[in-house]
Amino acid sequence: MEPIGLQPIGVVRSALTTTGQAPKQGPEAGLVSVIEIAPAWRQGLTGLAPGRDLWVIYHFHQAEATALLAHPRHDPARALTGVFNTRSPKRPAHLGLTLVRLLQVEEGRLTVRGLEALDGTPVLDIKPYVPGLDQPAPLEEP
């Protein structure tokens, strides 16, 4: 396969500076951080409003290795499992995905709750959470 080049659209500004500080993920988590969007991409923020849930796709820029097995949440008390069954940063493409709650939009800065990303993390894309599309339907009995 050919390599893929990705260009960040922004950067995370967060109190998290090391991976050992990992808080609970998701919009209900208490961590508040800011995503600074580069000027070239700011028009793409049109229509975003506080209260919206967003998917943030980012690059684990400090991940140094890839491991095919990991302990979930870096907890050695939990059994090793395949990296594709975890949120480990030691993935082949070092991509992260987190659902966040948008708190404020101001001049290219998105204040969000629930983003588990280190300060300086490159943001690759932002997508809206869409109920019904992003939440799978219950499995039907055979």
Q: Residue 29: inside a domain, yes or no? A: yes
Q: Residue 138: inside a domain, yes or no? A: no
Within a 10 A sphere around the Cβ of 140, how many other Cβ atoms? 5
**What separation in angstroms does the CA of 97 have from each of 26, 27, 47, 55, 94?**
10, 12, 22, 7, 10
In this predicted model, which residue has the larger pLDDT, 46 or 1? 46
Q: Residue 139: inside a domain, yes or no? A: no
CA distance 85 to 125: 22
Three-class SS state of 35: strand
* pLDDT class of 32 with cuts at 50, 70, 90: very high
Q: Residue 136: inside a domain, yes or no? A: no
Q: Residue 104: inside a domain, yes or no? A: yes
CA distance 139 to 120: 39
Q: Residue 90: inside a domain, yes or no? A: yes
pTM (2 d.p.) = 0.84
70 CB-near residues (< 8 Å, 6+ apart):
80, 81, 82, 83, 86, 88, 90
* pLDDT class of 9 with cuts at 50, 70, 90: very high
Q: Residue 2: inside a domain, yes or no? A: no
As for how many domains the chain has, the answer is 1
**Which domain range does residue 67 map to?**
10-128
Q: Residue 1: inside a domain, yes or no? A: no
pLDDT tens digits, one per residue of 83-139: 898 877 778 778 899 999 999 999 999 999 999 889 999 999 999 999 888 888 787
CATH of residue 62's domain is 2.40.30.70
Q: What local confidence, expressed as pLDDT, does residue 64 receive?
A: 75
